[in-house]
Structure 1
Amino acid sequence: MNLLILFFGYLFGSFPSGYLAGRIAKGIDIRSLGSGSTGATNVLRHIGKRAAIIVFLLDVFKGVLSILLAKYLLLNDSWQVAIGLSTLIGHIWPVWLNWKGGKAVATGLGIFLGLSWQVGLATLGVFIIMITLFRIVSLASVSASLALPLIMFLSFSGSNISLPFLIVSLLAMLLVIWRHRENIVRLIRGKEPRIGQP
């Protein structure tokens, strides 16, 4: 049964919201433009703000839904994390799109909102601060991912530490950094575009 839930987690994550937005709004394959990502940032640059907001919310919802399903089934922390990871993997590497999906940020946020809404909101807060200060989405995304494990650790009270939650926060951080490796190179070179720039 639990393995079946992992499969459904992958299916949730692989729902191609950004790809569908491109096809419906402009008849384009968003993967052929810009960063090649199906995430909200690439949608914002090549389709528009309204589509990007919808894609962002849908991608967050995918993560939240998978964790809520796990909690509804009374699964323990380890299985909640496993389902969250399967959803994240589906988002990054969707079978329907030749394994070319998003960069793990919005769906990752949804997963952590589901696991611990306080951690999710605090991480979102880091993202908002960085995007407000610098207006560079990739910088805000990487900064939030770097802060995530620390925020998760600080969220534990006393000896009430969930090792699976801590491990998944580290894995999510590494996935986000890996998916943004080209952005990081451009950031170092001072060539990463800000919001509103092509």
Structure 2
Amino acid sequence: MNLPIVLALLVAAYLLGSIPTALWVGRRFFGLDIREHGSGNAGATNTFRVLGKKPGSVVMAIDVLKGWAATMMATVMLNQGAIRPDQLLYFQLACGVLAVVGHIYPVFAQFRGGKGVATVLGMMLAIAPATVGVCILVFLLMLFLFRYVSLASMSAGVAFALLQLLPPFRPDNSLLLVFGFVLAALLIYTHRANIGRLRSGTESRVPLFGRK
């Protein structure tokens, strides 16, 4: 293992995840701190809620890209000979998790970020694209039917874990299977406030096709 290269790219993964997309979009184009509105989170969900579907879509796309690019740094490690092929998945998960941590606790935004859902999506897109493709369809379907980003996010996370139990999506490494269920549990835990608002009927909906 080439430790200097590995450590440099692990730090880069965290810094990439720390780019506070929602905060910068809110300040640059709307003159507000997204963390002072809505749920108080600097993520795509709150951007949809406070600023609308176009800024929300931009923030989500960039946050997904952050997770994907950070996870792909493990491939750079492999190509540079810094890690062995059998270590690739472990470092993909490490780089992806660091990007998610960076999104939640961004060094560029006083360690106050979002919940990391879009960044997790990008991370898993780099590792298991076929499974994530189905999860994206689940997300879009739930969003279209109920217009709750939080509910759609949790549904997609649970779908990812369950899909891996099916032969077409079962991973070669059982670590990814375990990680999928841990990820689903964490998504539900980090959305516990949203679950409370969903149960009380006070969760904000995302307008779609002019629907309020």
Question: Fold conserved (TM > 0.5)?
Answer: yes
The secondary structure found in structure 2 opposite 1:153 is coil
Cα 1:195–1:49 shift into 2, 3 Å? closer
The secondary structure found in structure 2 opposite 1:53 is helix
**Partner residue, 1:49:** 53
1:145 maps onto 2:149 in alignment: no
**Partner residue, 2:179:** 168
Cα 1:61–1:148 shift into 2, 3 Å? same
Q: Residue 123 of structure 1: CA displacement?
A: 1.2
For residues 151-177 of structure 1, the C-alpha deviation after alignment (integer angstroms, 9 at most, x for no partner) is 233312xxx631232233223223322
The secondary structure found in structure 2 opposite 1:195 is coil
Worse-matched range after superposition: 28-37 or 2-11: 2-11
The secondary structure found in structure 1 opposite 2:38 is coil
**Partner residue, 1:102:** 114
Mapped to 1, the partners of 2:13 and 2:202 lie a distance apart of 36
Cα 1:51–1:32 shift into 2, 3 Å? same
**Partner residue, 2:12:** 8
**Partner residue, 2:74:** 70
Unmatched 5+ stretches in structure 2: none
Q: Residue 7 of structure 1: CA displacement?
A: 1.2
Mapped to 1, the partners of 2:31 and 2:91 lie a distance apart of 39
Correspondence for 2:63 among 56, 59, 63: 59
Correspondence for 1:194 among 198, 201, 205: 205
Q: State how many pairs are aligned.
A: 195
TM-score normalised over the length of structure 2 = 0.85
Cα 1:8–1:149 shift into 2, 3 Å? same
Mapped to 2, the partners of 1:189 and 1:40 lie a distance apart of 22
Cα 1:6–1:176 shift into 2, 3 Å? same
Mapped to 2, the partners of 1:72 and 1:163 lie a distance apart of 23
Mapped to 2, the partners of 1:89 and 1:151 lie a distance apart of 25
Counterpart amino acid of residue 172 in structure 1 = L
Native 8 Å contact 1:12 1:87 kept in 2: yes
1:118 maps onto 2:130 in alignment: yes
Native 8 Å contact 2:52 2:206 kept in 1: no
Native 8 Å contact 1:14 1:87 kept in 2: yes
Worse-matched range after superposition: 35-44 or 68-77: 68-77
TM-score normalised over the length of structure 1 = 0.90
**Partner residue, 2:141:** 129
**Identical-residue share of aligned pairs (%):** 38
Q: Residue 100 of structure 1: CA displacement?
A: 1.6
Native 8 Å contact 1:25 1:47 kept in 2: no
The secondary structure found in structure 1 opposite 2:153 is helix
For residues 11-53 of structure 1, the C-alpha deviation after alignment (integer angstroms, 9 at most, x for no partner) is 1111110000011011111001001111122112322332222
For residues 54-87 of structure 1, the C-alpha deviation after alignment (integer angstroms, 9 at most, x for no partner) is 1111000001101222123225111111111111
Native 8 Å contact 1:35 1:42 kept in 2: yes
Native 8 Å contact 2:117 2:153 kept in 1: yes
The alignment's C-alpha RMSD in Å is 1.9
